[in-house]
Amino acid sequence: MDTSQESQDMTPLERLGASRRRFLALAGAGGGAVALAACAGGGGGGSEDSSDSDVADGGGEKSDDNPFGVKDDSKVDIVIFDGGYGDEYAKDAGKAFEKLHEGVTAKVNSTVNIQPELQPRFVGGNPPDVFDNSGAQSMNISALINQGELAELQSLLDAKGVDGTAVKDTLLPGATEPGTYSGKFLAMNYVYTVYALWFSTKQFDKNGWSAPKTWDDMMSLGEEIKKTKAYPFSYGGQNASNYYQELALSMAIKEGGDEVRKKLDSLDAKAFEQDAVVKAYSAIEDAVKAKFFAPGGEGIKHTQAQTDWVTGKSVLYPSGSWIENEQRDVTPDDYAMTAAPVPLLSDGAKMPYEAIHGAAGEPFVVPSKAANGAGGLEFLRVMLSKEQATNFTKLTGSPTVVKDAAPSDKDASTALQATLKMISDAGTNTFTFNFSDWYDMGPDTVTQWTEFLSGGISAEQLREKQQKMFDKIREDDSIDKFDVK
């Protein structure tokens, strides 16, 4: 299978995890290194000196329009992962870069083979000036950090942006957390994903339905949906049943607050005994017992489950905001895809209904030994302008980490409008959790959730299985653990 097909066959959650798990076989990087997903201030694996050179000083004259001193007539070597977002947005940013810095050349190259193509360049001492470390063949961030191959990007955050405001003040809450390793900011994640419940505006309007704000609302809506001979939910048991784990844990965190998230990411010995987690898993079990899940899900992939959803076999689907692009070829033209935050489990929830699981992804990094690292920083500064961020969203249908950067409603699909509204309504009430990617739990959680959703085990048995998985990892001293903030 070629690498582009491999990436297409993976779920988006698998692709996000793969970008953290690929090992870079650099000289001297020990085999079997655990990939390092980041948490602000959180540990594991970084060398004391992540950056060996001051790439923030390009040797040219510095100014507000050239904060890193990019030299006149220099060249900037940019490598983009040509995946689901394509590369047109980067080429457009390159043109804007050249317009801002007359005489400087921004060379944008695209590939799906990030690790195979860039590893020899790192070994040879001539890495690109900035690259998009994404896809099934991404480079392992842990090995890069341990070898001191990445430059710190704090100067990018502190710089005045193209629009005149400090870059750090233009970003959505939590945008820098995934790129912060042991307190050092090393990766600028550009795309913002919102996890939510997705459905058809047309279908809901036709039937007089409203998005469920509580799980009681969800159960009542489920019974109404069954009257139409459709199922409330579909699931891809072969590779993506754990989308419903995301739903359950998001509801649990909204119910119990950030302490629930901390215990999960810390692999706490009683992580799955937390009252909010028990309530969330029991809620999903109620839906299983009510036969809200389309039968046969254990035998299909996420692509088929999602096709069943947009073609009317089921009505609701928990997913990230990539779902519109992923289903574009099979979604009816008049479907009017939209979304709402996941429901609350009770009136006593510690977070509001509007709170969302939101996460930054698509990491861009600047090598510490880049020939023109200042140019790499400047390219990112240009990408983080409202003009270029809006252009990205217009081209891809996905928001970036830049606040208030979106096309007008006439240029935005119903799905994108819903995503942007959820971001706006949530404000600072956002959260994310990382344990699955940190400890490569994806395949095991799929097996467990498929067994649960198909009626093979109870919610209590599922929680016991997941806790045992946590315990095994926590007690294994050969596995690096990550600090949780």
Four-point Cα dihedral 13, 14, 17, 21, nearest 10: 180
Is the pLDDT at 143 greater than 50? The verdict is yes
Q: What is the mean pLDDT of residues 12-39?
A: 39
- How far apart CA 51 and CA 246 sit, in angstroms, is 35
Q: What is the mean pLDDT of residues 203-229?
A: 98
For 152-177, the pLDDT digits (tens) are 999 999 999 999 999 999 999 889 98
Alpha-carbon distance values, 89 to 74, 181, 400, 457 (Å): 22, 27, 12, 46
3-state DSSP assignment of residue 80: strand
Q: Pick 202 or 53 by higher pLDDT.
A: 202
Quote the tokens at residue 234: 């579909």
- How far apart CA 418 and CA 159 sit, in angstroms, is 32
Q: What are phi and psi of 55, to 5 degrees?
A: -75, -10
Is the pLDDT at 4 greater than 80? The verdict is no
Tell me the whole-structure pTM to 2 decimals. Answer: 0.81
Q: What is the mean pLDDT of residues 472-476?
A: 96
Q: What's the gap between Cα 36 and its chain centre?
A: 15
In this prediction, residue 474 carries a pLDDT of 97
The segment with the largest mean pLDDT, out of 179-188, 343-352, 471-480, is 343-352
In sequence order, which residues have a C-beta less than 8 Å from that of residue 99 and are 6 or more positions away?
none
Split at pLDDT 50, 70, 90, the class of 11 is: low
List, by residue range, all CATH 3.40.190.10 domains of the chain.
Answer: 3-26+35-193+361-416, 195-357+434-474
Q: What is the mean pLDDT of residues 35-61?
A: 52
In this prediction, residue 293 carries a pLDDT of 98
Is the pLDDT at 12 greater than 80? The verdict is no
Is the pLDDT at 287 greater than 90? The verdict is yes
483: nearest Cα among 47, 174, 186, 39: 39
In this prediction, residue 46 carries a pLDDT of 38
For 393-424, the pLDDT digits (tens) are 999 889 999 999 988 878 899 999 999 999 99
Is the pLDDT at 37 greater than 80? The verdict is no
- How far apart CA 184 and CA 216 sit, in angstroms, is 43
Query: Domain 195-357+434-474 falls in which CATH fold?
Result: D-Maltodextrin-Binding Protein; domain 2 (3.40.190)
For 314-344, the pLDDT digits (tens) are 999 999 998 998 898 999 999 999 999 999 9
Is the pLDDT at 142 greater than 80? The verdict is no
Quote the tokens at residue 415: 């799905």
Query: Domain 3-26+35-193+361-416 falls in which CATH fold?
Result: D-Maltodextrin-Binding Protein; domain 2 (3.40.190)
Quote the tokens at residue 20: 């953290």
